[in-house]
Homo-oligomer: A and B are copies of this chain.
Amino acid sequence: MKIAILPGDGIGTEIVAEAVKVLKVLDLPLEMETALVGGCAFEAHGHPLPESTLKLAMASDAVLFGAVGDWKYDKLDRPLRPEQAILGLRKNMGLFANFRPAICYEQLVNASSLKPELIAGLDILIIRELTGDIYFGQPRGRRIATDGHFPGAEEAFDTMRYSRPEIERIAHVAFQAAQKRSKRVTSVDKNNVLETSQLWKDVMVEIGKQYPDVELDHMLVDNAAMQLVKAPKKFDVLVTGNMFGDILSDEASMLTGSIGMLPSASLNSRGQGLYEPSHGSAPDIAGKGIANPLATILSAAMMLRFSLNQEAAALRIEAAVKKVLEQGLRTADIYSEGTQKVSTLEMGNAVVRAL
């Protein structure tokens, strides 16, 4: 089983090192190869996603990804910025199905902005379509407007689009995920305004008929942004497009108050996947050894489950993470009085011990 290890920028190297440590003690036949991605790859090779890195990723069963980006690259032309690496990997590997759990751990309830009774026990699975929508839709660019409010003026434009089979395949992913959970799917769109959303909704209804055991409802994206705040526990599986999913999955993660705990998986139709923490590269704390490695370690668990068919090993890691939380160990981001503050390295070691 071949894994590409792409630590990236910022805290990426520190947190991925701990996840690799954890993987190594599992005693599985894992072949790991590391490569540069993001800003560090741009500095070394002139491109955030060098050909060699992409090749390695494509040839692996799974990619374990840290994080990319730093303010110092903000001035680069868009195609050279670190985040293009992640878009390039998604596109080239065809990673259309993004799984973003928003889980509130019992021991971390108080880290949330929300009142404990609203957030305790939260367990939402957001499924975001990841290779379509306005992220990749052509045409896009700048031009002189020939119609609209100001014909003759410079304008910029992007195209939101979804085809029926693109929606069908993510719908199947969502319904099948729901079958393993509470059998409820909320599909989020903006069908009162967008043509794309109307097709999205129509296809969800159609595919839903093949899953009579799963209850499907629909919610407008503005309302979903509200209901997540008002009563997050009413959601179970939430499925939505790339753009709305970007916003809602981050909102939902932050509701838990412990985004440093949340993993993610991005899969293609062959089960190949990219696994990364839900948080970013946090350049402000990079190199200090204080970042929380648990989201990355839990991403490695998702990798074992989804791409490497090692459910038992995944469960072992997840149990080990629960155990270190029970032991009262906390990195700075989730620290509260009465717990023990530990470094990135110490947290990784604690998980290894708990295994």
* Residues A113 and B153 in contact, CB atoms below 8 Å apart: no
Tell me whether B142 and A195 are in contact (CB under 8 A).
Answer: yes
Q: How many copies does the complex hold?
A: 2
Q: Is the CB of A192 within 8 A of B158?
A: no
Interface band, chain A: 35 or more
CB pair B247 A229 closer than 8 Å? no
A255 at the interface (CB under 8 A from B): yes
For the complex, is A49 an interface residue (Cβ under 8 Å from B)? Answer: no
Contact B250 A141 (CB under 8 A): no
Partner among B153, B158, B251 whose Cβ is within 8 Å of the Cβ of A251:
B251
A192 near B247: Cβ-Cβ < 8 Å: no
Residues in B with CB closer than 8 Å to A163 are 145, 148-150, 153-155
- Least distance between A92 CB and chain B CB atoms (Å): 13
Q: Is A120 an interface residue (CB 8 A)?
A: no
Whether A226 and B199, one on each chain, are in contact in the complex, defined by CB atoms closer than 8 angstroms, is no
Known: A114-B115, A162-B155, A246-B222. A192 touches B254 (CB 8 A): no
A164 in the interface (beta carbon within 8 A): yes
Contact A193-B149, Cβ < 8 Å, known A114-B113, A118-B113, A225-B251? no
Would you call A34 an interface residue if the criterion is a C-beta within 8 Å of the partner chain's C-beta atoms? no
Interface presence of A166 (CB below 8 A): yes
**Contact for A115 among B113, B196, B221, B247, CB less than 8 A:** B113
Q: Mark A211-230, 1 if CB is under 8 A from B, else 0.
A: 00000000001110111111
Within 8 A of B (CB), among A110-152: 113-115, 118, 131-132, 134-138, 140-142, 145, 147-150
Cα(A89)–Cα(B64), bound, Å = 50
Per the bound structure, the CA–CA distance linking A78 and B193 in Å amounts to 8
* A164 near B155: Cβ-Cβ < 8 Å: yes
223-246 of chain A: CB within 8 A of chain B: 223, 225-230, 243-244, 246
A26 to B157, CA, bound (A): 47
Shortest distance in angstroms between A164's beta carbon and chain B's nearest beta carbon?
Answer: 5
Write the nearest CB–CB distance from A145 to chain B, whole angstroms. 5
Q: Which residue of B lies closest to A227 (CB)?
A: B254
Beyond known contacts A137-B157, A150-B164, A158-B160: 9 more, CB 8 A cutoff? A113-B229, A132-B148, A150-B165, A153-B163, A155-B164, A155-B166, A158-B196, A227-B254, A229-B254
